[in-house]
Amino acid sequence: MSRRHHPAVRPVLALCAATAVLAGSAAAAPAATPPAAASGTAAVPATTGTAALDDTYYEGALGKTGPALKSALHSIISDQTKLSYSGVWEALKVTDQDPRNSANVILLYSGASRAKSKNGGAVGDWNREHVWAQSHGDFGTSQGPGTDVHHLRPEDVQVNGIRGNKDFDNGGSPVSGAPGNLTDSDSYEPRDAVKGDVARMILYMAVRYEGNDSFADLEPNDRVNNGSAPAMGRLSVLKQWNDEDPPDTIEKRRNDLIFSQFQHNRNPFIDHPEWAESIW
């Protein structure tokens, strides 16, 4: 059953973030000051401190490991607002906004900056990439896993097509239009800068969707070629990526934006990457 959080939690976290801004927290400041956001776009917020989250949002998970931790996190993050699939377009224009150009989004695999207005299905457009492939569990674009922006990201239409529904693993041949990405017949390797991001998105989905809300029980495993099974691999590689590419300021801010403006839940593996090892 989804746990309802105390209504004071979100204002407390917002106040903590605001306090960090007033204090000029160096840890929360971007490397370069981005241009002012245009109308209809989001200013980049300060990241919320882990200590504040542990005292409030994650209170029920602290001190747990293994299945008990997974169960506690599932109860916490299942308390969310579900977006429509059309609403995902507008959410991604905020969560993935280019910090140096508020008219653009950053594409996940290629790292390119592309105009927000170029969303669609034609060559040169960007579309909504399901990092946990929607065929792995057959959830499609339904509200829930099909519209959960914690694993939906902007990507070039053609690059998205190359990735398809492949599992994640190391190795392969270079991907046209996405420098640093590799692929073969049954797996995809993203560029180094987002390997941890990809891993944490997969692990989030495995905790959030446990088969108790009309959708399949999504689980990571140590295979590729999972087909339509509700599984994504390769878990050992995803754990390695989580360790080697820890959350950066951009990934943390994205988590904060999803929490504060859209779904009102968080990806716990961005706030606590070490929980991946505690569970798996």
133 located within any domain: yes
113 located within any domain: yes
Q: How many folded domains does the chain comprise?
A: 1
For residue 275, the enclosing domain spans 9-279
d(CA 176, CA 142): 30
Whole-model pTM: value is 0.85
250 located within any domain: yes
d(CA 195, CA 243): 10
d(CA 42, CA 256): 12
4 located within any domain: no
123 located within any domain: yes
pLDDT at 36: 35
1 located within any domain: no
Query: What pLDDT tens digit does each residue of the chain (280 aa) get?
Result: 334 444 444 444 443 443 333 333 333 333 333 333 333 444 445 577 889 999 999 999 999 999 999 999 999 999 999 999 999 999 999 999 999 999 999 999 999 999 999 999 999 999 999 999 999 999 999 999 999 999 999 999 999 999 999 999 999 999 999 999 999 999 999 999 999 999 999 999 999 999 998 999 999 999 999 999 999 999 999 999 999 999 999 999 999 999 999 999 999 999 999 999 999 9
As to burial, measured by CB atoms within 10 angstroms (0-12 exposed, 13-18 middle, 19+ buried), residue 67 is exposed
pLDDT at 17: 41
pLDDT at 44: 45
Helix (H) or strand (E) holding 11, with range, is: helix 9-22
**CA 132 from chain center: how many Å?**
10
Q: Do 196 and 244 meet the contact criterion of CB atoms below 8 Å apart?
A: yes
2 located within any domain: no
